[in-house]
């Protein structure tokens, strides 16, 4: 594994620096506080060609990999402009369609998505199943070569600004399968179809992207909406879930770095008792410890991305990266808050708003306990705990 970025990767990583000249953290905060999607920022990213980083050039993208996607996310988050829609759309949905989609998906939907003309969201979580995805009940009943989709998905990021949703459903009910991983099928669902409804989930966290519950009531789907093989969707599902963990590792690393940079500036200028507070080890050491944690998490994230791009098993590194980066992000924002003192809780500094987002990402979209259980069982060989 080469730790040195090539010229193209370095430009992608530094793109956030140039983007922040027009769309900085204050812009992101305004939209986060008002829960309004930053459409101008998203369209600028589309114009600059970054929505299709993981989509082949033949389908309108850049033909790059998970490494470049993670570098993009880390670079923008370094500047305090993290976008969760870049996780569920370009990373989880569009890259999956480029590998497993139909000709319609690849020739019609992907080029439009790369241009920013349409957006995708991703739906797997259900109110009754939670983290136990084996027990999802959303069912697509097959009638000839068509399907009738009925069920409910919740905590769907950005459904209101999306045109299509990559939906994980069962085509064989859980009670009728030989193995619990059988019977899954992935579908691309046009959210304008008859039978699709949505309701906002009121999450008390400042974010530009909102969460939604989707309801499917006998939604008619055809063979052109199927992604991959019928009843064999679980075998390709982790093509979306490992990238999700990796890209969130990059986001958390970047946000933590952004918070620490603000803390360093403040602690270097704020003088109490005759010297800058950053000269006191009680302030300096927590920031330094958080910096070490962030950089360690960033390295694991890049290792996971490298493994994914090489076609190597990436589950071990991806789970470690997501776990480590979420913990490091919380540590970094908390240390930055403490360094700012009371000023850290004012709207002028914009530090406190980063904390609930980092705390959310410890729990969602996969909680730290499941990451640790994966590491304990799959990596260390401990007995299965669930």
Is there a single domain that holds both residue 203 and residue 254? no
Give percent of the chain above pLDDT 90.
92
pLDDT of residue 234: 87
Give percent of the chain above pLDDT 70.
99
CATH of residue 221: 2.40.110.10
Is there a single domain that holds both residue 225 and residue 257? no
Beta bridge partners of 168: 186
Residue 386 is assigned to a structural domain of this protein: no
pLDDT by residue (tens digit) across 216-244? 999 999 999 999 999 998 888 877 889 99
Q: Domains in the chain: how many in total? A: 3
CATH of residue 345: 1.20.140.10
Residue 384 is assigned to a structural domain of this protein: no
Domain with 167 in it: 121-232
pLDDT of residue 160: 97
Residue 57 is assigned to a structural domain of this protein: yes
pLDDT of residue 236: 84
Is there a single domain that holds both residue 27 and residue 107? yes
Residue 1 is assigned to a structural domain of this protein: no
Residue 56 is assigned to a structural domain of this protein: yes
pLDDT by residue (tens digit) across 105-144? 999 999 999 999 999 999 999 998 767 777 899 999 999 9
Is there a single domain that holds both residue 84 and residue 149? no
Residue that finishes a domain, picked among 70, 93, 118: 118
CATH of residue 94: 1.10.540.10
Residue 226 is assigned to a structural domain of this protein: yes
pLDDT by residue (tens digit) across 47-96? 999 999 999 999 999 999 999 999 999 999 999 999 999 999 999 999 99
Is there a single domain that holds both residue 251 and residue 364? yes
Mean pLDDT score of the chain:
95
Is there a single domain that holds both residue 228 and residue 256? no
Is there a single domain that holds both residue 40 and residue 143? no
Residue 249 pLDDT greater than 80, yes or no: yes
pLDDT of residue 129: 77
Is there a single domain that holds both residue 113 and residue 134? no
Residue 310 is assigned to a structural domain of this protein: yes
Q: Mention every residue, 6+ apart, whose C-beta is less than 8 A from residue 98.
A: 54, 55, 56, 59, 61, 106, 110
pLDDT of residue 88: 96
What's the predicted TM-score (pTM) here? 0.96
Residue that finishes a domain, picked among 216, 232, 248: 232
Q: Give the model's confidence band at 245: pLDDT under 50 very low, under 70 low, under 90 confident, else very high.
A: very high
Going by DSSP bridges, is the β-strand pair 184-190/120-123 parallel, antiparallel, or unpaired? unpaired
Is there a single domain that holds both residue 111 and residue 127? no
Task: Tell me the C-alpha distance between 246 and 97, whole Å.
Answer: 18
> What ranges in the chain are assigned the alpha helix state H?
7-19, 25-34, 39-47, 66-78, 85-86, 95-100, 103-104, 110-115, 234-269, 281-309, 315-340, 354-363, 368-374
Residue that finishes a domain, picked among 98, 118, 138: 118
Is there a single domain that holds both residue 284 and residue 367? yes
């Amino acid at each position: 594994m080469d730790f040195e970025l090539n010229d193209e990767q370095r430009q992608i990583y530094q793109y956030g620096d140039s983007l922040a000249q027009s769309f900085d953290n204050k812009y992101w905060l305004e939209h986060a506080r008002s829960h309004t999607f930053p459409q101008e920022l998203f369209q600028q990213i589309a114009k600059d060609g970054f929505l299709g980083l993981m989509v082949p050039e033949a389908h309108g993208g850049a033909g790059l990999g998970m490494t470049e996607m993670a570098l993009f996310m880390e670079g923008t988050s370094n500047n305090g402009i993290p976008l969760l829609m870049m996780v569920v759309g370009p990373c989880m949905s569009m890259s999956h369609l480029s590998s497993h989609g139909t000709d319609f998906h690849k020739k019609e939907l992907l080029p439009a998505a790369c241009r920013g003309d349409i957006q995708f969201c991703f739906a797997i979580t259900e109110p009754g199943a939670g983290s136990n995805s084996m027990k999802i009940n959303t069912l697509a009943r097959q009638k000839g070569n068509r399907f009738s989709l009925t069920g409910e998905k919740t905590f769907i990021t950005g459904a209101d600004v999306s045109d299509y949703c990559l939906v994980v459903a069962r085509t064989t009910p859980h009670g009728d399968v030989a193995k619990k991983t059988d019977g899954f099928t992935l579908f691309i669902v046009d959210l304008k179809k008859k039978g699709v409804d949505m309701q906002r989930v009121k999450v008390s966290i400042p974010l530009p992207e909102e969460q939604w519950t989707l309801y499917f009531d006998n939604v008619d789907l055809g063979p052109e909406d199927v992604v991959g093989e019928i009843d064999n969707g679980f075998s390709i599902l982790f093509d979306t879930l490992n990238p999700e963990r990796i890209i969130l590792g990059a986001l958390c690393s970047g946000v933590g770095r952004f918070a620490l940079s603000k803390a360093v500036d403040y602690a270097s200028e704020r003088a109490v008792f005759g010297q800058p507070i950053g000269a006191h080890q009680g302030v300096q050491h927590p920031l330094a410890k958080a910096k070490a944690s962030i950089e360690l998490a960033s390295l694991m994230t890049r290792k996971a991305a490298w493994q994914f791009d090489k076609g190597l098993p990436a589950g071990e590194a991806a789970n470690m990266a997501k776990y480590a980066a979420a913990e490091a992000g919380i540590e970094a924002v908390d240390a930055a808050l403490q360094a700012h003192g009371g000023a850290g809780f004012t709207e002028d500094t914009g530090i406190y708003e980063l904390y609930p987002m980092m705390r959310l990402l410890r729990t969602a979209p996969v909680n730290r306990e499941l990451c640790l259980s994966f590491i304990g069982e799959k990596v260390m060989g401990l007995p299965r705990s669930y």
